[in-house]
Structures are given as C-alpha cells and as structure tokens.
Structure 1
C-alpha cells in the first residue's frame, strides 16, 4: 500500500523534526534534532539536540535562538559553543 503524508499546516510553514541538522551562526554543524517540544497550542517552543559522537550530551534549544529553518537545516543565531554555554547556564539556573 502507498502511504500519504498529509499535514494541516500551510505550505509556507516549515516543519522541524527529529534528524534535522542544526548549524550555528558560523555554519558549523552542532548536532541533530532528537526531540521537538510543543506547547498546548501545538506551536514548537524548542528542541533537543544531541552533540558529539562518543561522549554525547544534550542541548536544549529554544525557538528564539533560531534564525532560519530552510528545510534540511536549522540555522541558529549563536555559534555552537555559545548555544552550549547559554543552554548550560539556563539548566544550572533552574536546578
């Protein structure tokens, strides 16, 4: 059987999904999306990326750090190291 993928979103909306590459403002790859966070209205509020090959760690990225989503990549307003530092500081502040 043939499966069809349908969405109730306008064609102008871009989807963020697991496996999408995330790059910093320096265009270097930071990681790939592992989880997407949505609010009760179904709006994406952020996502979790896994960074590293052997010693992996998670970085939570809020949507206000996103500059652009171009289909196969998510471009951030920060470099990878800036995003890691800000995410670490935010996590430490809530712990």
Structure 2
C-alpha cells in the first residue's frame, strides 16, 4: 500500500487502480468500498479500463454507491472503448434491457 500510494500521488493510474483493488478486496487494509470507489474513479478518469470495469460492477451491485444501472452502463462502455472485453459484454447486456 505504501509504494502504491507514493506512485498514486504522482497520478499513476495503475497504482490508483491497485489501491482501489486492495480496498475492494480488503487486502493490506480493511475492506472499504467507499475508498475503492475513490481510487477506481481516479484511475478510471485516466482511462484505466480495469478501473472503469470495476466501477461498473460496483454500481450494478451497489457497493460503496447506490445501485445505478445507468452509471454502470456508462462505466462499462468506457471500459469497452479502452479494450476490456468483459466491459463490452456487460455494456451490451445492459443495452438489451
């Protein structure tokens, strides 16, 4: 966490994503969905496809945020546009509803 934080402070999207993942899984820290959302968002805004995908999942599940399929669909779309195939699959699934 210490080294990821140092890199994240330099706007390293991969480090920001990794911190979000640690908070999401509760590894190296207590599980904290609000912190996971915060760090995934920082990475997602820099076009990190995995962070965008995880934000979509968290919006679908209502983890750390109120469940919102519209926001989930938007994050899945961005993830898809950045090369995440599972993001594409989830985006298209939500588009069919």
Is TM-score (shorter-chain normalized) higher than 0.5? no
Structure with the largest fraction of strand: 1
TM-score, normalised on structure 2? 0.28
TM-score, normalised on structure 1? 0.28
Compare relative contact order (CA 8 Å, sep 6+) and give the higher one, 1 or 2: 1
